[in-house]
Structure 1
Amino acid sequence: MTAFTDLHHAGEPLLLPNAWDHASALALAARGFRAVGTTSLAVAAAAGLPDGAAATREQTLRLARTLGSGPFLLSVDAEGGFSDDPDEVGEFARELLAAGAAGVNLEDGLGPADRHAAKIAAVRAAAPGLFVNARTDTYWLGDGEGTTRRLDTYLRAGAHGVFVPGLTDPREITALVRGLAGVPLNILYSPTGPSVPRLAGLGVRRVSLGSLLYRRALGAAVEAAAGIRAGRDPQGPAPSYEEIQAPGRHARGQGDGAASPERPPYG
């Protein structure tokens, strides 16, 4: 956990991009991102299941096992732990740690603060090597009321950092940073909110991209298909077949010198 913790206290905030599969995670790591998160929306959407409904425990664990040995530090978006039973959440965290995860993000969904605190305590006990990022949805699902009280409760339970998605007002961010007295504050980047340099100046220590990259990738794919149908050439960069395939072969241990059949640059 030490290396991941250190990223929250380096000179610049930790900008955490969120991947949705093996290829997207490796592509981000190749661009110099030392840590990569997962996004629960993408995991759920890929399985045809709702996000935030505790329906993707196995899919989330499967992705963590796929990414846990990658050349980056992995933080897993685990919704609310996929259970209201703290012991079950602790067991899930233990499995994430065994899969190679360095951190876990747990959201309260505005459920009882003491129940979420019990989950955090259970995770700390079952998987002491995981960095616990405690998310409160006071701004995501409400007007911000009770944020400080909830965060204090989660920190007393053992959270290493706190996450307040939906908070974009610079004055409120500044006040929260001061109140946290050095505890890393995580903010969800918004195209309509402060830039990353601005958030850094406010004292934010971690900036997550959430489902933004996944949604933009999906939008770009649909736009490209529609453009081709209309007779237009697709715009924007696209990795080559070889660029995507090469790290995949390495990660699967296929670089053993054996000849592989030639493949066309598509598939």
Structure 2
Amino acid sequence: MTAFADLHHADEPLLLPNAWDHASARMLAAQGFPAIGTTSLGAAAAAGLPDGTSDTRDETLRLTLTLGSEPYLLSVDAEDGYSEDPDEVGEFARELAAVGAIGINLEDRLGSRALHAAKIAAVKAAAPGLFVNARTDTYWLGDGAGTGETLERLDAYQQAGADGLFVPGLTEPRDIAALVSRLDVPLNILYTPAGPTLPHLADLGVRRVSLGSLLYRRALGAALETAVDIREGRTPGGDVPSYGAVDALSRRGDVTHSEGP
């Protein structure tokens, strides 16, 4: 079992914050988070590309190359693997692992259950040490009516070799507990302020809680609020890292920095 897999079996659920660039990842790691995920929305929006359309393969690989050599465990959101060919998905996973990723998140987008299972199997064959978090979108994109379809998909994915299973959009405690009792691998839930708290999710048996794009969206919201406050003559509130603190966290050995405001 890898160090990342071990985090899914600790006393508390793994709270996985999701970064979108080098500075955000380093700041989260500096707060003691042992593992960092990426957010596909953040990576896509920063590059001016739509999320969930397989247009960000190159951006995802570049981001992984930037973050993968850092002293934290990195799990990469790879959407659906950026291909309908399982072998191509496996090769992409091998590339991610080669530059430092220790986990990958793959979503089914409610496509073929068999195809997604084949992608998972291909990833495990190409990069055996990569922790595969297999996501089903029955609640995220579907109507979430009952747990039958969800269980059928999750069962197929764990049989294909998934190390963890992810059901974003699921917030009903009773349904979460029902899934936990039926699965052989850790369940990942997407945190939402309107859903169960982290302690409640822990009590339900959830082993991994992701923040998804929440931090990125809150950062954008804070930036907009600050700009509007200044325009309206108000003094912006909230904590703001200093220039020096951000610059120090952003330093990489292959980058030359100059002094700035």
* One-letter amino acid of the structure 2 residue matched with residue 152 of structure 1: D
**Shift in Å at residue 252 of structure 1?**
1.9
The aligned residue for residue 128 of structure 1 is: 128
The aligned residue for residue 80 of structure 2 is: 80
- Alpha-carbon separation, structure 1, partners of 2:95 and 2:122: 13
Taking the TM superposition and a 5 Å limit, the aligned residue runs for 1:50-89 are 50-89=50-89
| TM-score when normalising by structure 1 | 0.94
Taking the TM superposition and a 5 Å limit, the aligned residue runs for 1:1-267 are 2-144=2-144, 145-181=148-184, 183-249=185-251, 251-252=252-253, 263-264=259-260, 266=261
1:133 aligns to what SS in structure 2?
strand
2:74 aligns to what SS in structure 1?
strand
**Shift in Å at residue 234 of structure 1?**
1.1
- Alpha-carbon separation, structure 1, partners of 2:120 and 2:32: 31
**Shift in Å at residue 253 of structure 1?**
6.1
- Structure 1 gaps of 5+ residues are none
- Alpha-carbon separation, structure 2, partners of 1:22 and 1:148: 36
**Shift in Å at residue 218 of structure 1?**
0.3
- Alpha-carbon separation, structure 2, partners of 1:61 and 1:207: 24
**Shift in Å at residue 48 of structure 1?**
1.2
Q: Which moved more, 1:29-38 or 1:237-246?
A: 237-246
* One-letter amino acid of the structure 2 residue matched with residue 217 of structure 1: A
- Alpha-carbon separation, structure 1, partners of 2:202 and 2:26: 26
* One-letter amino acid of the structure 1 residue matched with residue 7 of structure 2: L
**Shift in Å at residue 254 of structure 1?**
7.2
* One-letter amino acid of the structure 2 residue matched with residue 90 of structure 1: G
**Shift in Å at residue 246 of structure 1?**
1.4
* One-letter amino acid of the structure 1 residue matched with residue 30 of structure 2: A
- Alpha-carbon separation, structure 1, partners of 2:48 and 2:26: 24
- Alpha-carbon separation, structure 1, partners of 2:66 and 2:77: 14
- Alpha-carbon separation, structure 1, partners of 2:255 and 2:92: 31
2:245 aligns to what SS in structure 1?
helix
* One-letter amino acid of the structure 1 residue matched with residue 57 of structure 2: R
**Shift in Å at residue 203 of structure 1?**
0.2
- Alpha-carbon separation, structure 1, partners of 2:73 and 2:190: 19
**Shift in Å at residue 245 of structure 1?**
1.1
- Alpha-carbon separation, structure 1, partners of 2:24 and 2:233: 28
2:132 aligns to what SS in structure 1?
strand
* One-letter amino acid of the structure 2 residue matched with residue 224 of structure 1: T
Q: 1:254 to 1:215 in 2, by over 3 A?
A: closer
**Shift in Å at residue 116 of structure 1?**
0.2
| TM-score when normalising by structure 2 | 0.96
* One-letter amino acid of the structure 1 residue matched with residue 241 of structure 2: P
2:71 aligns to what SS in structure 1?
coil
- Alpha-carbon separation, structure 2, partners of 1:29 and 1:64: 15
**Shift in Å at residue 118 of structure 1?**
0.5
1:177 aligns to what SS in structure 2?
helix
- Alpha-carbon separation, structure 1, partners of 2:211 and 2:179: 20
